[in-house]
Amino acid sequence: MAIIGGYSSASLLGAAIILSVAALIIRRYFFHPLSKYPGPFWSAVSDVPVAASLLTGKNHIHLKQLHDKYGPVVRVAPNELSFCSPQAYEDIYGFRSYDEPMEKDPIWIGALMTMNGEVGISYAPRDVHARQRRAFSHPLSNSSIMQQEPLIQEHMHRLIARLGDLEAAGKPANFTDWYSFTSLDVISDLYVGTPFGCLTSGDGQQWLDALEKGMQCGVYEQVTRRLAGSHTWLQKKLYQFVVPTVYKQGKMTHFLKSKQKVMERIQDEQSDHKDFMYYILRNNEAKNLLTPTEILLNSATFIAAGGDTTAAALAAITYCLLTHPDTYETLKAEIRGRCKTQQDIVHDNIKGLPYLGAIIREGMRLHTPVVIGSLRQVPPHGQGALIDGNFVPAGVTVSIPQWTATHSELNWTRPYEFLPERWLHPEKFPGDRPQAAQPFSLGPRGCIGKNLSWMEMRLVLCHVLWAFDLELEGGRQGVWKWDPDGDVKHVKAYMMFQRPELWVRLKKVQR
């Protein structure tokens, strides 16, 4: 081993590494443009704390604790700030007339994938996103969704029939699964003209498992990008060896099953069934809005979003209702008072029910379906941005973690309590800032399926509560894990919660 001035080359190399790391830590903590923002020391100098919280499924808890300690803006990584105010929502995700919009940060990755360099609407850059959104604007418009109500109602009746079978047999129902089966059948029928058959066969678990594993894969991939950069040689190696194979397989299974359904529908291109593909294929022919690859990628996106987030909200809302008897009875009375027969349960008749709307809003606030924030990047070649009154330099990663925004005492009175009245009588909750709850996000990338989700939630809840009286199976494992101020904090979340079981005893209403 070489000796230089009495020191071995290994010793000199070790000293150089130590000095380099020390210099990096000093620069990031004392001289970085974000040094003025509050946050833990280790978060200021390393991505490891936030990466660890993502890997353990506790990112939502980690960020909530940081905001509780440091306030409405926190430095959560060397080049990343987390916000939780309503104004920050507008500044980060809203329309920015004075500057280019904030694109999704390169380290953000979801449950889906790219193909041949092309991406779906969720991860597309601004111009591509706008083009793809135009292609979907008609089939997902409110008027088009209303035209699809008869088809959606078929799945509502199928759900009630299956729940009726369980009630007749004296068996409880796991509403977590049944809501997921319903949402998957609805979105697949709307998108490709053929339901997956989850409600008829009762077998949609494989697809649900694939969706969950795909989301976990996306979170793990985000961790590799945080630690090794995006699309670097080291990042690709980390992805290869760090991300569990079962997660990669889940991601691929979801994509391939979605692709199969789309290809079957494309081969039946002469069909007059006016599902989403009917409009997409015709728009594609007329305006060349989507490439074949983009059609495939977006099928996986819409099936994942439409089949999982709405079901998550419904399960949470049902738990909240059944643990608040007075609220449950009030909603039952409102629904049954408006709908004398099952045929009265149509969207035009129920969309204006005030208590139903308040309960859905409060359920999605208390159990927001997506718990982590979508990462954005302040335009790297711009002049920086003003976010909630704070100047943020160009190139900085910013986000609003939804669990934090919807449970912070900075935004809500009694944030962990289920209080639908806050949406009906805001004057009684002067400390509330309702715009801090954005389950569908907002701005140019706000959820394009919002109208469909609202319709489905209203119809499902009205059909179920009109047909049955419900009671929680309290002794069942998993039920009490839904408590937002208790056991749910111990439930892992990878973008979305790994939803516990929700066992419910049904009693058919005699009329």
Binding residues for heme: 447
Cα 218 from Cα 248, distance rounded (Å): 9
Interstrand relation of 80-83 and 397-399 (parallel, antiparallel or unpaired): parallel
d(CA 272, CA 259) in angstroms, rounded, equals 21
For residue 395, what are its two tokens?
Answer: 């190139």
Main-chain phi, psi angles of 289, to 5 degrees: -80, -30
Helix (H, G, I), strand (E, B) or coil at 473: coil
What sections of 442-508 are H helices per DSSP? Answer: 450-467
Closest CA to 115 of 317, 238, 252: 252
CA–CA gap between residue 14 and residue 2 (Å, rounded): 14
Q: In whole angstroms, give the CA distance from residue 372 to residue 385.
A: 22
Helices marked H in 376-436 — which ranges?
Answer: 402-407, 421-424
Tokens of 360: 């859905």
For 53-88, give the DSSP string.
Answer: HHHTT-HHHHHHHHHHHH-SEEEEETTEEEE-SHHH
Task: Give the contacts of 436 (CB within 8 A, at least 6 positions apart).
Answer: 84, 85, 86, 89, 405, 406, 408, 411, 412
3-state SS assignment for residue 376: strand
Binding-site residue positions: 447
**196 forms bridges with which residues in the sheet?**
none
Question: Positive or negative CA dihedral for 104, 108, 112, 114?
Answer: positive
Based on the number of CB atoms within 10 Å of its own CB, is 172 exposed (0-12), middle (13-18) or buried (19 or more)? middle
CB within 8 A of 449, min separation 6: which ones?
A: 140, 302, 305, 306
Residue 335 in 3-state DSSP? helix
Instruction: List, in sequence order, every beta strand (DSSP E) within 326-481.
Output: 376-377, 385-387, 390-392, 397-399, 468-472
For residue 323, how far is the Cα from the chain centroid?
24
DSSP, collapsed to helix, strand or coil, labels residue 441 as coil
**10 Å Cβ neighbour count for 400?**
27
Cβ atoms of 404 and 415 within 8 Å: the answer is: no
Q: Is the dihedral of CA 265, 120, 372, 85 positive or negative?
A: negative
Question: What is the C-alpha to C-alpha distance for residues 415 and 431, in angstroms, rounded to an integer?
Answer: 10
